[in-house]
Amino acid sequence: MNPIEPTVRVQPGDFDLSAEVAALTKIRKNIGAAVTFTGLCRDEEGSLAALELEHYPGMAEAEIGRIAAQAAKRWPLTGLTVIHRYGRIEPGANIVLVVATSTHRKAAFEAADFMMDFLKTRAPFWKKEHRADGSVGEWVDAKSDDDKAVERW
Amino acid sequence: MTKMVYFAWVRERIGLTEEEIDIPGNVKTGADLLAWMKGRGHNYEAALAFDNAIRIAVDHEHIDQKEDIGSPREIALFPPMTGG
């Protein structure tokens, strides 16, 4: 089976989870599993007003595309969609979506997990905090746990 | 001339989003580039003080600091990424 062509979008606007799943599941009848991951903005116990997501236009799409192509090569997927937002994002709003579909669930689960682990450490996005008290907060620090997470693959 | 682009706190500390620079011929690797850039002014020194917190991308692809930069159109310097 040739690897599928993943869909990658980097955009300021929101996405519709069910529409993205439907786009991958309506094209074939042999899909037994659709796994989705949605990353959202937390309010950090009320202290955060919003996150400002900066990205590197061009490289963001290219790097997510490279990770998605690896996932598509490694697991027998029937579809893979990755959407990452940028700009100002408020608590409760969506930041990132991964939809992986496959004939069986294991490939879809693993591919979505792999996608997120590499996206967090390699996709050129940076989060800056805007605090609820009106001040501009810090740049969010990268977590060493995220670096460790990629090592298991 | 090479287009340099900067992101997040590297951009803020340097005080520029991008610039065109002439990279000397003796700057071969990513580490050489950071060492040379630090000598260009206090803002660069402040932005790039912690070498292991700086990531380098050459024409939209990550490279290790020990790798050669080659002769790219665009080089990006930025901190560890925090997307997702």
Annotated domain spans of chain A: 7-136
| In a domain? residue B83 | no
pLDDT of residue A1: 67
| In a domain? residue B54 | yes
> How near does any CA of chain B get to the CA of A107, in Å?
21
Question: Could you list the pLDDT tens digit for every one of the 153 residues in chain A?
Answer: 688 999 999 999 999 999 999 999 998 889 999 999 999 999 999 999 999 999 999 999 999 999 999 999 999 999 999 999 999 999 999 999 999 999 999 999 999 999 999 999 999 999 999 999 998 889 999 988 888 889 999
| In a domain? residue B49 | yes
| In a domain? residue B41 | yes
Give the start-end residues of each E strand in B1-84: 2-6, 18-21, 55-58, 61-63, 74-78
State the distance between the two ends of chain B, measured CA to CA, in whole angstroms.
Answer: 34
**Is CATH 3.65.10.10 the right assignment for the domain spanning A7-136?**
no
What domain range is B41 assigned to?
A: 2-78
Say whether pLDDT at B42 is over 70.
Answer: yes
CATH number of B68's domain? 3.10.20.30
| In a domain? residue B19 | yes
Residues 21-60 of A with CB under 8 A from B: 39, 53-56, 58-59
| In a domain? residue B23 | yes
Both tokens of A11, joined, read: 């955009």
Of B8, B76, B79, the CB nearest to A59: B76
ipTM of the complex: 0.96
A103 and A43 in contact (C-beta within 8 Å)? no
Alpha helices for chain A (secondary structure H): 17-25, 59-74, 105-122, 144-151
B68 and B34 in contact (C-beta within 8 Å)? no
